[in-house]
Chains A and B, each alone.
Chain A
């Protein structure tokens, strides 16, 4: 594997996995533009993909370690008691862990059973570019809907303050809403649609604040991305891939650092800001990429 390709792909994965702009879409579109198709299709690409996922999940675990500790403590207490009552789960962490588990199930099932056929069917650069535009449209629509809901709630709150619930927290989320966010996550198997974008928009459509939706999205991402990496480790240690392991591990470290800085930035960003800039980026980048691939198909550009 070319070292420059590895570093570039590691940075790309680390950043785009967590930003709501579709990492899968970018790994289809950008090598398509740069002519790196061979790199992605080479058999030695697997170790790199695994270490990139492991690097990203380690970054998420590192950033959210306090959250995970509290979730696991709360989860253990509620699991032993078998209920979520305030005496057992006063801060709601046990219930939040259950919400993460429920949200992870749909993508776990669909990902394992259908990931490869879906990727094979949709990993065409021009399609990924079109879906990136669609992803931008979803983010824009989600943001607009959220603003409208909040405006409506403020009007109600002005008349009757007891009904105010501007930007709910995770403790107010239902299990059905967690499952719905989990189903939205399944669409991210299609290159161009962003996992974090779709889960955030679905969370916000269910009344969560930007920050709570982002936090739930990243917490939900950790077991999925970690499992995707860990389950491939035995294959990674076979003789076929051993030679490429050091360079792949280097890529994993780069992806991890990029992912850590990304999640740190995003959690700060979503305290006050909105999804619009990412939506505009997806629409513009997707449209330009679509135009490029169309011109390439028409043999107007090489």
Chain B
């Protein structure tokens, strides 16, 4: 991976956007199957927020494991 921070950052940004999308009430949320599709989908918000954190943590590990990183 040439630039782990760039890749991790892009993935994290997409996940944060998706988390915000599922958190906003009144918007039609795709792929939600419990409750009204316009209600905030808490499980989806948690999933994408966690994925954003995992992407950044993964980027940090990948950056540190590159030759000459330490």
B28 at the binding interface (Cβ < 8 Å):
no
Query: Are B65 and A84 in contact, CB atoms less than 8 angstroms apart?
Result: yes
Residues of B contacting A: mostly: helix
Residues of A within 8 A of B36 (CB): none
Q: Is A121 an interface residue (CB 8 A)?
A: no
Complexed CA–CA distance, A101 and B50 (Å): 11
Residues A117 and B33 in contact in the complex (CB < 8 Å), given A105-B54, A112-B43: yes
In the complex, which residues of chain B have a beta carbon less than 8 angstroms from the beta carbon of A84?
Answer: 61, 65
A116-B33, A117-B33 as given contacts; A82 in contact with B47, CB under 8 Å: no
Using a CB-CB cutoff of 8 Å, which residues 13-61 of chain B contact chain A? 31, 33-34, 42-44, 46-47, 51, 54, 57, 60-61
- Separation in Å of the A85 CB from the closest CB of chain B? 8
8 examples of A-B residue contacts, CB within 8 angstroms? A83-B61, A83-B65, A84-B61, A98-B61, A101-B54, A113-B44, A117-B33, A231-B43
Q: How many residues of B contact A (CB 8 A)?
A: 16
The 3 closest A-B pairs by CB, nearest first: A116-B33, A83-B64, A113-B31
Any chain A CB within 8 A of the CB of B70? yes
In the complex, how many residue pairs between chain A and chain B have their CB atoms under 8 Å apart? 32
Chain B residues within 8 Å of A114, by CB? 31
Q: When the two chains form their complex, are residues B51 and A83 in contact, meaning their CB atoms are under 8 A apart?
A: no
Knowing A82-B64, A83-B61, say if A109 contacts B47 (CB, 8 Å): yes
A33 contacts B by Cβ under 8 Å: no
* Given pairs A82-B61, A83-B70, 9 additional interface contacts (CB within 8 A): A79-B57, A105-B54, A108-B47, A109-B51, A112-B47, A113-B44, A114-B31, A115-B33, A116-B34
Assembled-state Cα–Cα distance A112/B33 (Å): 9
Q: How far is the CB of B7 from chain A (nearest CB, A)?
A: 14
Contacts of B61 in A (CB 8 A): 78, 82-84, 98
A97 CB to nearest chain B CB (Å): 11
Residue-wise, chain A 220-234 has the 8 Å CB interface mask toward B (1 for contact) of: 000000000001000
Residue with the greatest number of chain B CB neighbours at <10 A, chosen from A82, A105, A117: A82
A6–B33 CA distance with the chains assembled, in angstroms: 25
Closest A residue to B60 by CB, please name it. A82
Within 8 A of B (CB), among A72-126: 78-79, 82-85, 98, 101, 105, 108-109, 112-117
